[in-house]
Amino acid sequence: MKKLLFVIFLLTLVSTNQLLAQNNSMDNKIKEIIKQLTLKEKLDMCHAQSKFSSKGVARLGIPEIWMSDGPHGVRAEIAWDSWQHAGWTNDSCTAFPALTCLAATFNPKLSYKYGKAIGEEARYRKKDILLGPGVNIYRTPLNGRNFEYMGEDPYLASKMVVPYIHGVQENGVAACVKHYVLNNQEHWRDHINVELSDRALYEIYLPAFKAAVQEGKVWSIMGAYNQVRGQYCCHNELLVNKILKGDWGFDGVLVTDWGATHDTKEAALFGLDIEMGTGTDGLTSSLKNAYDNYFMANPLLKMIQSGEIDESVVDEKVERILRLMFRTNMNSSRPNGIMNSQEHFDVAREIAQEGIVLLKNEANFFPIDPEKVQTIAIIGENATKMMTVGGGSSELKTIHEISPLEGIHKRFKNANILHAMGYASGPSVYGRVIDSKLNADSLKNEALEIASKADIVLFVGGLNKNHHQDCEGDDRKHFSLPFGQDDLISRILKVNKNTAVILISGNAVEMPWVDQVKGIVQTWYLGSETGHAIADVLSGDVNPSGKLPFSFPVKLEDNAAHAFDELSYPGDGTNQEYKEDILVGYRWHDTKKIKPLYAFGFGLSYTSFQIQNVKSNKISYKKEDTIIISCEIKNTGKIKGNEVIQVYVNDVKASVLRPLKELKAFKKVKLNPKETKSITLKIPTKELAFFDDSIMDWKLESGQYKLMIGMSSQDIKKIISVKVK
């Protein structure tokens, strides 16, 4: 055994030494290249030359850097100097489910598959930076961009973002984690100044970015549009210089969001590396030679020439850019990439299947027997509306998108399928709301007619990717369902009580009809394989196992951001204060004893599970220890299924306010009928610490801690007490 350990030690030492040698060789090459560059060539590398590229240096063989929007697929090609599509015929992609769906899988292995597949597509399209994934925290259900993010919990987002990054970057494509940081609403995003406590910043909003840097080893980060404590995020001394590049040791490239740069001197001195989308007036517009007028172009050139800023400041940026190039487009060993393979569509379908959340299933309404001859009324515009278009920069040109109606038709061949729109939104136009020209009463009457004839009704509704819905650029105006859907559902229930709701959205919605419908399924935006995945779950071919990555409040005021005045949300137009502090999402609901409609981590199954024999490896721990929790999970039902075991921690007697519980471990387990598995979950004791703003560091207090093991934040099955010294 000692010999084996010694061999492992030697191999580790050799690989470490090889890595150090490679890094030293790369650093030496970078220094030599920088010596050969003119100041103008250096500056050209630090800002855009087109909407989605920055310059190389042709005379030295340094390539351009090409970027593409993500994070759910590789965006169609955009024209060189406008936001119009370039008109290519070979830029259709695989559309993967939105990141809310990925987070709902609670499955890091699927996150790696996702990253690997989308990275292959980006590589095939010759992209060097994929602009995603997003890990901003779900603070309010009105945020138009929540569908691009990974929920309300920093631990869940941290565990899901790391394998995604690994998967993407295996292809020699840089992931670009966004939007750093506190871009938690779209309304006034371009200027709103966020004020918050250090505890909220470090405990809630930074952890996923920190994990992306230190565990994911991400090669690029995108700055946010907003300000924090009076400085814009893309050139923020605290956020970039001190935390990102200082405390965390980030060695990659900080890229602006498009048009998020506002000052030449701050951009130069406070950590910005590549400036994109500025235009000549800071509003992403374009004029002739606009790129030479970027903040980090001619204006910075003049500052360096006058001696106001030292050229070494630019050298440091170019060093980072060249390091990214050696990892991507100057890496001769990176793979070729793959586009639209069946394997990619299979990955998209698998993620969609595991992310769908069953919220209600009265009297086993689901699954619906596909062999039974019956009439099914499918009502709702979302049954046929394409959701890969629209939404802002995450719009996709997919090779196919199977609609819910098409998927149900294909799986339920013995059923008589009737369809009516029931309601209608307007066309999908970014930045504008256009009302539908269809007659609302006629649509409603048609829906009621087919509902009255059907054995069961599936109402396929929710939100869409239009402006003021789940869309970049602004927030939702209301918590309720748009386009008269709530009224339509109530009318359908009067003619057919055998009705269930299939929600398609990236956000929580109000549900005044929750007690009347037989079932509710939260299906997210599922990409290319949408209809197949929904039909897989409705038919019982797949047992649902998704868990909510954010809380569904009963009413908007039950959400923490909306429990205060308008300064908390959306702000006064200039400033915004996060008055709920660290109590975001389930932390707020649990600590304030405000019952959610559906809790974080909640999701039903077609089978049942039981947790038993829960214990920890010891009862007293030191800071350097790891808490190991073991338990057995049994499938007590008749069909195979997956369950997510979740461990929350409660600091019984803290010296500061702490949430009633915080997620610190989870594991997804697959079980056959009647099967029992033993599992272990690990929590490093140091992760029980809180951020102490009096010393500006993490603090672990001695005392009693409760380990709360269950199947959601509100469904705790067993509590174990341990002591920390």
Q: Is 536 a catalytic residue?
A: no
Q: If DSSP codes are grouped into helix, strand and coil, which group holds residue 126?
A: coil
Cα torsion 624, 625, 626, 630 to 10°: value is -170
Cα torsion 88, 174, 58, 37 to 10°: value is 150
Burial 297-322 (b: 16+ CB within 10 A, else e): bbbbbebbeeeebeeeebbebbbbbb
Alpha-carbon distance of 21 to 54, in angstroms, equals 29
Q: If DSSP codes are grouped into helix, strand and coil, which group holds residue 522?
A: strand
Alpha-carbon distance of 347 to 97, in angstroms, equals 10
> Does 181 sit behind a cis peptide bond, omega within 30 degrees of 0 on the bond before it?
yes
Pick left, alpha or beta for residue 259 (phi over 0 → left; psi -120 to 50 → alpha; otherwise beta).
left
Beta sheet of 456-462, edge-to-edge order:
357-361, 519-522, 499-504, 456-462, 375-379, 416-420
Q: Name the DSSP letter for residue 232.
A: E
Q: Which of 257, 470, 474, 536 is catalytic?
A: 257
Cα torsion 306, 311, 317, 320 to 10°: value is 170
Alpha-carbon distance of 483 to 440, in angstroms, equals 9
Phi, psi (degrees; rounded to nearest 5) at 158: -65, -45
Enclosing H/E stretch for 155: helix 154-169
Nearest to 162 by CA among 103, 212, 237: 212
Alpha-carbon distance of 382 to 405, in angstroms, equals 9
Cβ atoms of 413 and 370 closer than 8 Å? yes
Q: Name the DSSP letter for residue 181.
A: T
Cβ atoms of 208 and 159 closer than 8 Å? no
Alpha-carbon distance of 411 to 539, in angstroms, equals 8
Alpha-carbon distance of 297 to 48, in angstroms, equals 9
**Residue 312 carries which side chain, given as an amino acid letter?**
S
Cβ atoms of 549 and 159 closer than 8 Å? no
Phi, psi (degrees; rounded to nearest 5) at 576: -145, 140
Alpha-carbon distance of 575 to 594, in angstroms, equals 28
3-state secondary structure 534-602: HHHHHHCCCCCCCCCCCCECCCHHHCHHHCCCCCCCCCCCCEEECCCCCCCCHHHHHHCCCCCCECCCC
In sequence order, the β-bridge partners of residue 651 are 705
Alpha-carbon distance of 52 to 258, in angstroms, equals 9
Sequence-separated (6 or more) residues with CB below 8 Å from residue 608 = 635, 636, 637
Cβ atoms of 683 and 629 closer than 8 Å? yes
Active-site annotation, residues: 257
